[in-house]
Structure 1
Amino acid sequence: MKRNYWPLLFIGIFTFTIGMIIWTIKSAVSVPVIEDNSFMKKYQDVEEHYNEMMDSNVLFRSKYNFDFFINDKQFALTTEDIRYSQRVIEKFSVNKDSLKVGKNSLKLTVSDKITNEKKDVKIDLILSKTISNDSDKLLSNGDFVENDKTYIADFEIKESNNWIITGSFVVDGITGYLYIKTNAI
């Protein structure tokens, strides 16, 4: 009597496929999920309100002078780095090498464009590595030393890596947003 082995082939393919599905699900579940918290918001909120956020940035820049320094290097109230990958930043950005391994400092002053009066600022910043959130540094008003409405904060970075500095600044109910990609050397 002649035997037909084709059903065994189909059973083997089916078993292999089910095994690969189980392996894929198990592998995916074991990898940690890191949520994007750009601008200190969930990505769904940023996506839904992005245009309003950028309009608020334009209004903020039209009303206030924004002086933001990282290690004595001045930055504008910008979100342009959000469009670029980290590889592009490493090759072409003027923001690269802004942080250093060890002690770093932030300095912030916001003043009215018409009266030059310094303003009180509500600060929410996060310094985050691009691949994980285990080294995030959250900085708010309590982390800054305020002297004549000039805000200064010191923080330490322990490793050379790519970093994102993002957050918001609220003055008189108007919010300005910042997004800078850089690296620590």
Structure 2
Amino acid sequence: MGNTGKNEFNFWPYAIVSMILTVVMLGIWTIKVAVNNPVQEDNSYMMKYQDVDEKINEILASQKMFDEKYRIDLSGNTLKLGENRIEIRVVDKNGNPVEGAEVIAIVTRPTTSKDDIRLNEFEWTGEKFLSEPFELKRGGRWNIEVKVTIEGTNGFKTYKTFVK
């Protein structure tokens, strides 16, 4: 006589199953997004981040020694679509141009390294180092990252610009 004729329906098993399916679907979605957006390697100081992490104290000490003697000036650079050249002025603390420096530059976008343009050939003009010609095909934000080596000390400088 305990049965009143009423059929009770319990939703708890359906709620638990739907929560489990939701978690599985969100896991699949997370993996799909991660695979479609791979990690971009940071190339600060023109090295892999593992090398920078391992040698950061030596890099900063070399930068400090460089900054005590020299200054890198990139302020005269404006990039545009098409052919470009960059100017790098290296001066001592008295403002005299420094000749004989080893200069390397990378023109890169801040969020990706797939558009990097590495510049190794620089011409000394008597006052500044002038890069080989290179071409920019895309507008937007660009960075000019420079490494200058003089007498075993390294100086680094980043110049941010916008290309229209």
Confirm or deny: 8 A CA contact 2:74 2:159 kept in the other structure.
no
Seen in structure 2, the aligned counterparts of structure 1 residues 146 and 117 have a Cα distance that, compared at 3 Å, is closer
The 5 Å alignment of 1:7-46 reads: 7-46=13-52
Higher helix share: 1
Q: Provide the identity percentage.
A: 32
Give the structure with higher Rg (CA). Answer: 2
Aligned to 2:105: 125
CA RMSD after TM alignment: 2.8
Is residue 166 from structure 1 mapped to residue 132 from structure 2 by the alignment? no
Distance 1:131 1:110, change over 3 A: closer
Q: C-alpha displacement at 1:171, in angstroms? A: 0.9
**TM-score of the two chains, using structure 2 as the length reference:** 0.76
TM-score (normalizing by structure 1): 0.69
- Match of 1:136, SS state, is strand
What are structure 1's unaligned runs of at least 5 residues?
A: 75-97
For the 8 Å contact 1:101–1:158, the answer to whether it is kept is yes
Give, as a single letter, the amino acid of the residue that structure 1 aligns with 2:70: Y
Range with greater deviation from structure 2 (116-125 or 10-19):
116-125
Query: What is the aligned partner in structure 2 of residue 134 from structure 1?
Result: 114
Deviations 1:65-123 (A, max 9, x none): 54x456xx17xxxxxxxxxxxxxxxxxxxxxxx32222222233546558x68432222
Number of residues of Structure 1 aligned to a counterpart in Structure 2: 156
Change (3 A) 1:51 1:184: farther
Query: Structure 2: 5+ residue runs without aligned partners?
Result: 1-6
